[in-house]
Every structure is written in C-alpha cells, then in structure tokens.
Amino acid sequence: MSGVPIMTLSDLAFAYGERVLFEGLSLAVEPGDKIGLIGDNGVGKSTLLKIILGQERALRGEVAIRSGARVGVLEQVPVLDPARTIQDVLEEGLRPLTEAIAAWEAAVAALDARADHFLARIEELGGFDYAHRIDEIHDALELPALERRIGTLSGGQMKRVAIGRLVLSAPEIALFDEPTNHLDIETVEWLEDWIGDTAAACLVVTHDRAFLDSAMTKIAELRSPRRMSGPDAARGPLAVYPGRYEDYLAARALEEEQREALGQARAQQLKGELEWARRSPPARTTKSQARLQRVAALASEVRDLKSQDTRASFDFAQGAPRLTKTVVALEQATFGYGAPGGTPVVTGLDLALVRGERLGVIGHNGSGKTSLLKALAGELALWEGRRVVGTETRMAIFDQHRAALDPNRTIQETIAPDGNDTVYPGGKPTHVAAYLARFAFSSRHLPMNVSALSGGERNRLALARFLLEPANVLGLDEPTNDLDLATLAVLEEALIGFSGTVVVVSHDRWFLDRVATRLVVFEELPPEVPGGAPRKNLFVQPGGWTSYRRLRGPELEALRTAHNEAEKARLKAAQAAQRIDKPRPAAGLSGAEKKELARLEARIAELESDVQALVDRLADPAIWAGDGRDGRALTADKDARERELEAAMERWAVLAERA
C-alpha cells in the first residue's frame, strides 16, 4: 500500500465563536511519513489533533484514516489511572496481541479452523513471547519498578510510561502533542531514534527544533488567517516543506526574501496610485472608481505583508549596575532537598560564574538542576561550603512554574499591579500597551484574565513581568517551555545580546547550542558494581550540547556498555542458580505448534546471521566516528536482536522438547 495515504485531512475548517482558527486545511499522511507540525501559539495545532481524534468537531471537512489502522496517541499531559501499576499501563499497549493469543488458545482447544488465522495475527503483532518486550521498554525508558502505582510517579515518569505504552501498541500512525515537554534529553533522543526506525507514520506537534531536525522528514507549518494574504493565500493554512527543520528554515528564508521584494514592488505601485488619487478631481468616473478600489486593495496587501513580520521583542537592558569581576561563586558547596543530614544532590562543588558568560544546566528530571539555580541565587541554603557574591551583582530568577502569574488577574494588572498604565523597563517610562506589544500582546489582550491564555501566551507574559526586574544576572528555569518557534528565536537573540551573566536550565538542545557558552551537566553514571546504585556526577565543559556529546559521549557510552555486559552476566548467573526442575509438559504438538516450530527454526537462523553481521560492523572504528551515534544505534539494534534470539530459542526448546 506504499504511496496510498494512511490518513487524509480534507478541507477542514474550525472556529471558536467568531475567531476562525483555520479553513480549507488539507493534508495527506503517507505510510512512513514523519511530519513535524509547527506554528505560532494559539494557531490551532493541538485543536487539529483533537479533530483527528474525534475530540473536537470541525465546522466542515473530513478526516479519513485507513480502515483498521492502529492509531497511537501521546497527549501533552497523559491522563493515566493513578491506581494502576506501570505494568498494567504498559500491558494496555499489548492488548491486541494478548487478545489474539487468547483467541488462538480458545480456537486450538476447540479444534476451530480459525486457529491459523489467529496465529498469523499473533506473528503480525510480535509473537507469543511479549514479556521481554515489556522488560525491554522498561529498561530503555528507565522506568521505576513495574509494580509502582501511577499515582506515585512524577510528571516526567508518567510521560515515559505513556511513551512505552504507545511503542508497545505497534501503531501504524502515531500522533504526538509536545512529546518532549518534561522529558530529559536522553529520553528525547531515545524517542527520536524510535520515530526514525519505526515504520509507523508520525504526526508530531512540537517546538523542539533539535527534535524536528533529527526525526522529521517533513515540516508542516500551520498559519493563522491573518498570515494568509498575499502569496500565501493560494497555499492554504497548512504549508508542507520536505526535509528536516534546517531545510524548512532555508525554504522560509527564501520565501521571506521573495515576500520582501514583493512588498517593495507593491509599495511602489501603491505610491503611484496614491499620487494619481491626490491629483484627480473630486468627481469620479466608473474607471476612476475602479482605480480607487485597486488603491485600497494594494494598501491592504502591503499592511498584511508587513504584519506577517510582527514578532515578540525582548529587551534585557535592565539598567542594573555593571558587574564586577566577582559575580557569584559556590565554594565546596554541598546542598540538597530539605534540612542538612539527608542525601545531597550536590557535594563539594566549586563553581564561579564569569561576567558575560551564559551557563547552561542540564540533566535528568529531579537531578538537582533547579536546586543549583536556587543555590546560586541564595534561595537555597548550603549544607556546607559558602556562597560568594559580587558587590554589584543583582540576580533575578525566572521560575519554571510561573508562580508570579495570578490566573484571576488581568494581563494589565499582572504587568502593572499598582494600577498605573506606565512601566519602567530599563528605567525608561513606557506605556503598558506599548511594552506588552514587544511580547506579541495587542491592546485587546490587556483586560483578559491570565486564566484565558494558552501555555505559550502565559510564558510570554511571565517573561514580560520578569524583565521588569532590574538585574545583571539572569537565572532562567526552563524558559523555552510552550514558546512558539518565532518567540524562541527572539529570546535566544536577546540572551546572546545581554551584557550581563545568564544561567539557564533547559532540555532544549537547539537552544543550548545557540545560547550556552559553558555547560554544567548532571550525569547519571552506571553503578560501579553490577546491581549497585547509579552514580551521580557533575561535569563542567565549555560549549553547548553538541560539543558535550561529541567530546564526552564516547566515554559515557563505553561505561554503559561495560555495565550492561556485566549486568547480563550477573542476571544469567542468578537465573542459573535459581533454576528448578519443572514438570515435563505433555508430549505431542498441535498442528499450529508444529508450524510455529518450523518458523522458529528459520527465524533463529536469521537472527544468528543478523547478530553476527552487526558484531562485524561494530568492529569497524569508523562506526564510532563523530558523535558515535551510528555506533550506539547499531549496539542497541544488536542488543535487541540478541534478546529476540534468546526468547526464540527458549520457545523453540519448549516446543522441541514436546515434539
């Protein structure tokens, strides 16, 4: 069925009251497509996913998904039953397989001729031995113990469980709404690899540019009606660009150059028409009236072309004093959650901020990134060591939970709580409306309550409030969450141009590569002994994320490979020590089991050949060149095939013993 769309969206239209989100939206998703859906905040990306899933109803148009196709969904905030265990939720993804196995067993017992049909379905869904697939996903996503209740997990852990369920369901088309939010970088990269390897078509709403650049084969940009005039009108609200995010940027840059040239031509044409209009007498002929209508149309088009370039504008010129040589330093600092005496998240840290640097902080969820930011700001007391602060240092913290926003206050009250209509960014008096316009808020937004804003709009408002504080050291905790791509680019430029010092906690790799001049990485290293607890390490290195992965990645990969091999040996020895004699099954195989045995023999030979081929390829040093990604991918493939081989041989042994 290659080339036949697995999903088609035809002439969709949707509106909230009088506000039209989109109309005339069409898209064909073919098998294997990996489509990144992007667009400004509030343009309707999540709404489009809801329409596809039947959770919202379009005003007109049609959504057609191939009959019988398995659809997987990862919500922005997964809704999971808190009373269920991780095992329960993961097994939900295998429900079609477990139901097929139950149907096959019943058919075999009843000598039903449909047994072969059910057996074929079982093989299509991955085979009988599915327990190892749950273990594989559990280990790959570093989930807590399978018996843990969902209600005891963090938001990031719940999202990883939901990803595991989706992967185990083996979808033919998968829909993702901001999949990278609340995930650590390692999990994001694992998901990128899965999307790249799976045969499923994927439609992904995300603002993660590194994710778009790594995992997508097409970029679809959803544009609001106000950006649909001029040359874009004929394309409809959804413009699709082949290739990765970098290819999209190149195509959009070319479009903007053409748009600018077109805008200049239209403006010149308008100038000529206006000169004619001013020279002409008051009485108008029919021909003159037509020219006046053309003047109005041209003026409207020029305004529309200019309005499409409107972007949020951040100004970090706070008017704070110039930093001295000493900014902020931690000396032999030890700190953690709660009172001294517990388990520290950081021990004996020496870290000095440098004037003008931009320090990026990354690591697993709960590793201590926010605690480090608070320790630098003096908001978290040190258990040991000391904090040194320069005489001119003024530090402000941007909270990832946006606690400064009161949902019951208006936007204007949030920015000017004293009731005035003037604020003082950088010490300069500015009208509230003019200040908020820098953050893409119009005057109609001023009386709106914060509760009515989208996540991205709230983030922009929080930044607007934050930037009114006079500071020469900025501490930002996950500032990129929910921001659209245009606003992200402007924020990056503002931080790069800031004359003070920046400390930013982020999982956004593209952002870190553009902004960070130095990284602090909370690493989780393998245990020193098999079965032991993971080790914590704080690694500091100049540069951004890509530099860190290139220089540090091979060493970390070698440590993990050695640990995995030792862990396999330990588990194998433990299983051998605990093995007990089991009752011998009844002799003889059913017809279906004989067919399964023959297929297993062929599959085992195939897997043995595949494993050997992968071992040979991994022996080539060129595989580990660069950032070592090819080597890691091949290693993961080899490990997966070895596990499948082991499971196939165990099943073959059971059947062969009874044959």
Residue 157: which of 80, 226, 222 has the closest Cα? 80
Report the percentage of the chain scoring pLDDT > 70: 85
Residue 393: which of 330, 497, 321 has the closest Cα? 321
- Whether 574 maps to a domain, the answer reads no
User: Where is mean pLDDT largest: 237-241, 416-420, 437-441, 581-585?
Assistant: 237-241
CB 411, CB 465: distance < 8 Å: no
- Whether 418 maps to a domain, the answer reads no
Domain end among 243, 271, 291? 243
3-state secondary structure 499-555: CCEEEEECCCHHHHHHHCCEEEEEEEECCCCCCCCCEEEEEEEECCHHHHHHHHHHH
Tokens of 99: 């139901």
239: helix, coil or strand?
A: strand
Same domain for 627 and 653, yes or no, is yes
pLDDT of 51 strictly over 90: yes
Same domain for 300 and 178, yes or no, is no
pLDDT of 3 strictly over 80: no
- Quote the pLDDT of residue 625: 66
pLDDT of 295 strictly over 80: no
Tokens of 19: 């506000």
Residue 389: which of 327, 451, 333 has the closest Cα? 327
- Whether 416 maps to a domain, the answer reads no
- Quote the pLDDT of residue 309: 47
- Quote the pLDDT of residue 348: 94
Query: Which range marks the domain in which residue 25 is found?
Result: 1-70+173-243
Same domain for 336 and 226, yes or no, is no
- Quote the pLDDT of residue 319: 64
Task: Report the number of distinct structural domains present in the chain.
Answer: 4
Grade residue 531 by pLDDT with cuts at 50, 70 and 90: low
Tell me how far apart the alpha carbons of residues 171 and 93 are, in angstroms, rounded to a whole number.
9
Same domain for 495 and 639, yes or no, is no
* Among 100-109, 250-259, 300-309, 508-517, the least confident range: 300-309
Q: Tell me what the mean pLDDT of segment 187-193 comes to.
A: 94
Q: Tell me what the mean pLDDT of segment 614-619 comes to.
A: 78
CATH of residue 613's domain is 1.10.287
CATH of residue 44's domain is 3.40.50.300
pLDDT of 282 strictly over 60: no
